[in-house]
Amino acid sequence: MSTTPEPAPEPRAPKPALVFDDPLDQQSSDDTDRGWGERSDGDSAADLRRFLDEKPPHHL
């Protein structure tokens, strides 16, 4: 029989809790303006090039 102490058990991660909040009270990513066409460059030539590249063929 050995006299070495047993290692302490590692703490367990907490279990995820159920949340019963109203999901409609939270803002979704669709409710923001982020990602709706804003571009960091202010180049008007780049805007025209993008417009011409993305124009549908029936608008020629």
Amino acid symbol at 59: H
Q: What element of type H or E holds 52?
A: helix 44-54
Q: What mean pLDDT do residues 21-29 have?
A: 82
How much is the pLDDT for 6? 75
Tokens matching residue 11: 């703490």
Residues whose CB falls within 8 Å of the CB of residue 46, separated by 6 or more in sequence, listed in order:
39
Model confidence at 7, pLDDT cuts 50, 70, 90, reads confident
| pTM (predicted TM-score) | 0.28
Tokens matching residue 13: 């991660």
Tell whether the model's pLDDT for residue 55 goes beyond 80: yes
Residues whose CB falls within 8 Å of the CB of residue 29, separated by 6 or more in sequence, listed in order:
35
Model confidence at 37, pLDDT cuts 50, 70, 90, reads low
